[in-house]
Amino acid sequence: MSFQLNCPNCGKRAVSEFTFKSEFKNRPAADAEFSEWTDYVFFRENNMGRQIEWWYHRSGCQSWFLAERDTLNNSDHKSFWYGDLGQHSKNSDGEA
Amino acid sequence: MAKRITKHQNCELPNLGEEISFTFNGKRIKAFTGDSITSALIASGNTLLSRSFKYHRPRGAYDVFGQGHESLVSVNHEPNMLADSIQVQNGMVVKSQNVWPSVEFDLGEVNDLFVPMLPNGFYYKMFHKPKWLWPIAEHQIRKVAGLGKIDVTGKHVHRRYEKHYRFPDVCVVGGGPSGLAAAKGALDEGKQVLLIDDNTQLGGHSLHSIFPVNNCENESLNGLPENQAVQKLIKELAANPNLEVMVNTSVFGLYEDNLVAAQSGPDLFKIRSESVVLAPGATDRHLVFENNDRPGILTARGVEKLIMCHAVLPGEDTVVVTTHDGGFHTALLLKGAGANVVAVVDGRESGSAGEFEEQVRNLAVPVYKGLTVHAAHGKKRIRRIDIGPISGGDSHKSFDCDLLVMAVGFKPQVNLLSMGRKRPVWDAERQILRVTDLPSGMYSTGEVHGSAGFTRLFGEGIKTGKAAAKKKSVESSKRSEDELIMALPADIESGGKNHFICKCMDVTRYEAQASIDEGYDQVESLKRYSSMGMGPCQGKACHEAVARLAAQDTGLSSLDAVPTTMRPPFSGVSFGILAGRAPHLSPISRTPFHQCHIDLGAKFLNAGQWKRPDSYIDPQKEAGYVRNGLGMIDVSTLGKIEISGPDAIDFLQFMLPGKYGKFEVGRTRYSIMVGEDGILFEDGTISHLEQGKYYLSTTTGNQDAINALFQWWLLVEDFDVQVKNLSLANAAVNVTGAESREFLQKLVKIDMSNEAFPYMHCRQASIAGVPVSFYRIGFTGELGYEIHFPSEYGESMWNHLMAEGEEFALNPFGVETQRILRLEKGHFIPGTDTDALSSPYETGVGFAIKDDKVDFVGKAFVQNFKERGIENKLVPYQLEPNDPIPDDGVAVLEKGKIAGRVTSSRLSPTLKRGIGLAWVRNEMAETGNNFTIRLANGSDVVATVLDHSVYDPEGLRLKS
């Protein structure tokens, strides 16, 4: 893995500066079924294609952000703040 | 015989520099500063450079560009250096490898006689049974196999390996005519360009070509011979301040997003650019025929380089085998240098004679058409060759000669292009393996798409350079009729069993066919079984021959010739390059008291990135100081996180499994942390220091991760909270022992009495004018106070405390001592005594969980753990006095089967017997139960489960 990731603060940097957390998922409600919790904690979509992920700029500005990445080739990804998730989804829907 | 030449009829000879000398296998060799090791050795008549890997056949210089394995030698005790690529230095010590007793007389040569006994995969077949044979065989094989010997003494190599970074707009790999033109094209667009070449000078094959330049778009070059034209071009480019040139630098890998990795001596370069232009060029094609590996067989471009760059004529009686006009060019250069060109053997039946063919014919050199080489004779040097039809069969004619020049077309150097994730395919028109469709941002140009004249290479290079600068796409231009070179059959089937496909690993066509017969009929499995292409050159020389012959011998068409996957590194990379300057790259963290520890003679240990005092004198003795009086330990490495804001309490309730509804100012509490999966990963204390301000301390090394985790939760959940990471801002010591209260009371104005400042409370005060906070906790089992204060007062505070503590016999103690003390109390350390499967209940800290809260991190799984009950348990144990102390991590046995493990084990200074913590099955965890610990040496000791800490079980001392 040697691709460059776009930090919304710092711009394009080597991916080795970042920590990957997980695919983006919504946390289940506190009283959700236990099976929903096991899905949340242990199961991954593991998409072949585009998916939204949590990344942390560990060796840089130490900010959390979301990146939509193509897991097939890491190319042409889009990074944005968590607060802009709604806007991002709207834009993506528009494209599709 | 080879010799140095002083004049040449067709070109000027280079300035060779000063005369120097070096040794080769102990023999003194004269050389010039401009020589490579290979050129100097050839000039002095040393044909033999090395022995082959398996059969120890004699091998000599072959391509002279460092592509093959033949020139691997040890230089100044550094193994596996390419003699072809290394410039000679005065006094250099060069030695042959893989030979015994010498390269001239190598006993390993007997292997060559036993070829039938050393078939492919013979390791797998021969020494398999009986079982006892393998270790003996392996020992012998290891002795004779392998290449250079590493200098394990480290006495001879004093190198400092460094990493460098470059960020040009355009990175051009290859400094031949195409690469130079591409650099020029990009420079003309105003870009910053980095141009890399692995030779000692730029210019590529043009340096040794006297083809005249015509119709070039750079008109000032027209009319010049190619070698002069390229020098003019280099001079013109050198003046451009936007160009950085790196020669003697080999690009060994190409990775995602245009990351180029290059090695230059002890330096690693990581180059990231907008566009990469690959212009690696081509090398003379490797032809397979009987004894095609013998010394005295050289590539045409190698011979040209020797003559025009080193003024070395590598032989006297010469035969040139060719399929294009370039071979006649080489013949002319040989003739002009005074060689006797016995014959030029041209594989083409007909076609118009090129410019150089005419010149050679005019010199009355015999030319044979429609034929090629069938076999070479001679062992340490060729004596004679046979020629015959290209389809093989019987030979027609023999020539006595000591130099056979191979000019049978060019093999594009597609390795780097192929690392762009595309497999090369056979281009029937151009008769080469080609990679055409590169990922965006990557470009390729030049002979890698088929050889061509200078004018075309220049024009194509300029076009590609400009396209790379503008990030536009560009296609390689078609080759003209007279530029296309027909490939000969990959193997000239002239009989005999020594047709070497892969010279590095000594694999012949015969052996390859045998492997196919055994069922390894896919090119990838064939490679792995026969080891073709797996030697030092990693298939650079042979991958085309392997692909073509594998297709042919498995009944496929030439269009199905697919080489095996090409991976980095393209050229040999030393481990030092990859490791960098130090054994590890992470930075070293030192606490503010580091110098004090050094002054006290501390032994240090690595705790993550931290240097911590392991002990000062002796851990057992230091433990005594704490138990009997007063000790102090540096705990600055603890994570320290301040949490404040209107929702601080809600945030703690959510992040931690405990309850904080009634958490008064001045209180300190123990807390664990669990993940969403319910697994315990951290513990520490949380203190309510001031109204609305909370202070969390975590274990060493976890502070950044926990800070990052908190920041994430603050982002996704709606809390009005500020989290401040004070881990480095604050230093901390733990002053502990029965006399700690009396000692500290002397230093502060606040009331330190047990009534005013009880156990698990915190207070703010000042010592010597420095604001400090006290946390009365009990990790060691004694009365103790953690003191936190700003890091900048570190040394002076440490020294002040040590000086003031003298009357109380205050002594420092280290991490090892602390581990012993806490073990006497049965305290676990997360990550040491727990792992990724440790539920808080099984770890024994269920008391820290209040799962009746609405929501908190890990609630669902914590509740699930509770319902599932306890399967395993972390228990304190003790051994009998005089029992040996087990190592950390050894197994716990139950009826001879593994039933758990010891996580921490020490000698208790208080009880004078072994104590520890162990994971055991729940049914074994009852107090007083005995279980077996298997020591590393195979013997057993019996441990007894305790239900309490061995030291001060009621906690009277720490609460006193």
pLDDT digits (tens, 9 = 90+) for B78-116: 888 899 989 999 999 999 887 777 777 777 777 776 665
| Cβ proximity of B416 and B433 under 8 Å | no
Beta pairing, strands B762-767 & B770-775 = antiparallel
Rounded CA-CA distance B263/B245 in Å is 14
Q: B410 forms bridges with which residues in the sheet? A: B284
Contact partners, residue B230, CB within 8 Å, separation at least 6: B177, B180, B202, B203, B204, B206, B207, B454
State whether B676 and A41 contact (CB < 8 Å).
yes
| Cβ proximity of B940 and B948 under 8 Å | no
Measured between CB atoms, which of A3, A30, A62 is closest to B855? Answer: A30
State whether A30 and B272 contact (CB < 8 Å).
no
Is the domain covering A4-95 a CATH 3.30.910.10 domain?
A: no
Is a pLDDT exceeding 60 seen at residue B561? yes
Task: State both tokens at B507.
Answer: 């694999």
CA pseudo-torsion sign B195, B200, B206, B207? positive
Closest Cα in chain A, distance from residue B543 (Å):
26
| Cβ proximity of B227 and B216 under 8 Å | no
For domain B3-144, which architecture applies?
Roll (3.10)
pLDDT category of residue B537 using cuts at 50, 70 and 90: confident
Measured between CB atoms, which of B708, B859, B864 is closest to A56? Answer: B708
Residue recorded with tokens 């804001």? B645
Residues of A with CB under 8 A from a CB of B: 1-4, 14, 19, 21, 27-28, 30, 32, 34, 37, 40-42, 54, 56, 58, 62-64, 74-75, 82
Beta pairing, strands B282-284 & B371-377 = unpaired
Report pLDDT for B123. 61
Closest chain B residue to the Cα of A25, Cα to Cα: B716
Measured CA angle at B774 (ends B773, B779), to 5 deg: 135
Measured between CB atoms, which of B256, B272, B864 is closest to A74? Answer: B256
pLDDT in tens, A8-47: 999 999 999 999 999 999 999 999 999 999 999 999 998 8
Is the domain covering B489-580 a CATH 3.30.70 domain?
A: no
pLDDT in tens, B671-705: 999 999 999 999 999 999 999 999 999 988 788 88
pLDDT category of residue B584 using cuts at 50, 70 and 90: low
Residues in chain A with CB shorter than 8 Å from the CB of B711 are: 62-64
Number of H helices, E strands in chain A: 2, 6
> Domain B871-959 adopts which CATH fold?
Elongation Factor Tu (Ef-tu); domain 3 (2.40.30)
Closest chain B residue to the Cα of A76, Cα to Cα: B257
Is a pLDDT exceeding 60 seen at residue B345? yes
Is a pLDDT exceeding 80 seen at residue B486? yes
pLDDT category of residue A93 using cuts at 50, 70 and 90: low
**Nearest alpha-carbon partner for B315 in B292, B340, B290:** B340
Q: B908 forms bridges with which residues in the sheet? A: B913
Burial letters B3-14, b for 16+ CB under 10 A, else e: bbbeebeebebb
Report pLDDT for B142. 66
Delimit the domains of chain B by residue range.
3-144, 162-283+412-483, 489-580, 591-822, 871-959
State whether A41 and B855 contact (CB < 8 Å).
no
State whether A37 and B860 contact (CB < 8 Å).
yes
Rounded CA-CA distance B811/B406 in Å is 80
For domain B591-822, which architecture applies?
2-Layer Sandwich (3.30)
Contact partners, residue B458, CB within 8 Å, separation at least 6: B177, B178, B181, B216, B217, B218, B221, B233
In this structure, the number of other CB atoms found within 10 A of the CB of residue B113 comes to: 9
Closest Cα in chain A, distance from residue B864 (Å):
8
pLDDT more than 70, % of chain B? 96
Rounded CA-CA distance B308/B121 in Å is 44
* CATH homologous superfamily of B162-283+412-483: FAD/NAD(P)-binding domain (3.50.50.60)
Report pLDDT for B710. 95
| Cβ proximity of B248 and B200 under 8 Å | yes
Task: State both tokens at B188.
Answer: 């003309």
Report pLDDT for A96. 39
Rounded CA-CA distance B780/B958 in Å is 9
Arithmetic mean of pLDDT, A37-64 = 94
> Within B382-492, where are the H helices?
415-418, 454-470
The pTM of the full predicted model, rounded to 2 decimals, is 0.86
Arithmetic mean of pLDDT, B881-896 = 94
Residues of B with CB under 8 A from a CB of A: 255-257, 259, 272, 440, 676-677, 704, 708, 711-712, 715-716, 854-855, 859-861, 864
State whether B708 and A62 contact (CB < 8 Å).
yes
Backbone angles phi and psi of B510, in degrees to 5: -60, -45
Residues in chain B with CB shorter than 8 Å from the CB of A27 are: 676, 716
Arithmetic mean of pLDDT, B798-827 = 96
Residues in chain A with CB shorter than 8 Å from the CB of B259 are: 2, 14
User: In what side-by-side order are the strands of the sheet with B680-690?
Assistant: B668-674, B680-690, B693-698, B639-644, B722-725
Q: Most B CBs within 10 Å: which of A24, A37, A43, A59, as the mutation test of the B interface?
A: A37
Report pLDDT for B183. 98
DSSP letter for each residue of B515-561? HHHTT--SHHHHHHHH-TT-STTTTTTTHHHHHHHHHHHTT--GGG-
Rounded CA-CA distance B319/B300 in Å is 11
State whether A37 and B256 contact (CB < 8 Å).
no
B147 SS3 class? coil
If you count residue pairs, one on A and one on B, with CB atoms under 8 Å apart, how many are there? 48
Is a pLDDT exceeding 60 seen at residue B583? no
Is a pLDDT exceeding 80 seen at residue B126? no
Is a pLDDT exceeding 70 seen at residue B156? no
Residues in chain B with CB shorter than 8 Å from the CB of A32 are: 860
Measured between CB atoms, which of A3, A34, A64 is closest to B712? Answer: A64
Measured between CB atoms, which of A4, A19, A62 is closest to B257? Answer: A4
